[in-house]
Amino acid sequence: MPWIPDRAPRVGNDMGEAIMKGSVEVGVTDSLSSSLLSCAALAPCRRALVLGGSTEARMLTACIAADPRLEGVISLAGRTSAPQAYDLPTRVGGFGGIEGLTRYLLDERITHVVDATHPFAARISANARAACAAAGVPLLVLTRPPWAPAQGDRWMEVADNAAAARALGVAPRRVFLAIGRQGVSDFRVAPQHDYLLRVIEPPNVDDLPPSCEVIFGRGPFALEDEVALIRDRRIEIVVTKNSGGALAYAKIEAARTLGLSVVMIARPASGDAATTHDIDAAMAFLAS
Ligand code: NAP
């Protein structure tokens, strides 16, 4: 793709947004704001790679497409058979590990990478950290904040799927497995439970525990529908990943409403890349 030089720069009011480095929050200062403003007027066009697969990636690509200072490519893993359209040129499929991603960054003259993958997509995020370091390309992680327990919530917080399967206990229970299809095989070690698995794409049948009903659904889900589903299926406990965000939160509220326990699977470690929850901060990063 040809390199398009800078066009009329446009700088939004986003320079004061916070970016987090690891767990430490770093404010973008006024003086940095001024230097970003002058850089934006002088610098060549930025070429962003957005690693996608999340709502945040979709929102960011719309902002990039509307910003004349920026070119961008969105990258999808290719897990979804009919992905929704994006506002940017889209590439699909793995890069071939760290080495392949490093080569891609250099060959495509990528100037900035935003890792806007799902918070549980640990491998591509680790690869992005390593490849960006190798290629000398700045990286920002854009992710939604995790959910925190509210009053009335009965959460069992666990580290991973294996711990979630153990947390269900020995006695048979009716379990709402709201984790998507990835990792469902980890619950085959607890075959005494009756599972209700909700997915977007069909799971591999060999991955399912022996007693498992599969239903299909894509968020956003309404609270009343989640309450009705849990009641109708006589669910006794909910298992979910701590994905965060509004689209999938209703099941947590439904469990709270019905006084059910939730086994909450914690996010995988995210390394020390600079991180933000804010689209405007990601746009400020891309303009830097
Ligand atoms: P993963 O385990 O972190 O990644 C596995 C491999 O898939 C990566 O090594 C990479 O292959 C490729 N890949 C992943 N995301 C990619 C992307 N955006 N562009 C190009 N290649 C990508 O990922 P996952 O958990 O299987 O998730 C796959 C995708 O689904 C992610 O993009 C994620 O945002 C989305 N998603 C995941 C979840 C979840 O719960 N894990 C939920 C919703 C959506 P190479 O090594 O060959 O580059």
10 Å Cβ neighbour count for 244? 19
| Encoded amino acid at 240, one letter | T
CATH number of 18-145+269-286: 3.40.50.720
118 in ligand 1 pocket by Cβ < 6 Å? yes
Tell me the C-alpha distance between 138 and 141, whole Å: 10
Distance 230 CA to ligand 1 centre (A): 30
CA distances from 217 to 198, 202, 229 (A): 6, 11, 12
Residue 146 structure tokens: 């995790």
Please check the confidence at residue 84 and state whether its pLDDT lies above 90: no
Tokens 């290629």 sit at which residue? 135
Full-model pTM: 0.84
Closest CA relative to residue 52, chosen from 73, 81, 67, 28: 73
List, for residues 108-142, the tens digit of each pLDDT value: 999 999 999 999 999 999 999 999 999 999 999 99
- Could you tell me which residues come within 8 angstroms of residue 152 by beta carbon, excluding any fewer than 6 positions away? 256
122 in ligand 1 pocket by Cβ < 6 Å? yes
List, for residues 204-243, the tens digit of each pLDDT value: 999 999 999 999 999 999 999 999 999 999 999 999 999 9
Residue 265 structure tokens: 């699977």
Distance 124 CA to ligand 1 centre (A): 6
Residue to probe by mutation, ligand 1, list 56, 123, 143, 199, most atoms within 8 Å of CB: 123
Indicate the DSSP class of residue 230: H
The class (CATH top level) of 154-265 is alpha beta
Tell me the C-alpha distance between 198 and 213, whole Å: 9
- Residue limits of CATH 3.40.50.720 in the chain: 18-145+269-286, 154-265
124 in ligand 1 pocket by Cβ < 6 Å? yes
Residue to probe by mutation, ligand 1, list 124, 200, 247, most atoms within 8 Å of CB: 124
120 in ligand 1 pocket by Cβ < 6 Å? yes
51 in ligand 1 pocket by Cβ < 6 Å? yes
List, for residues 270-281, the tens digit of each pLDDT value: 888 999 999 999
Distance 5 CA to ligand 1 centre (A): 32
- The continuous run of DSSP H or E covering 254 comes out as helix 250-258
CA angle 88, 276, 65 (to 5 degrees): 15
Instruction: Give the pairing of strands 90-92 and 70-76.
Output: parallel
CA angle 65, 67, 68 (to 5 degrees): 105
Ligand 1 nearest atom to the CA of residue 51, by list position:
18
77 in ligand 1 pocket by Cβ < 6 Å? yes
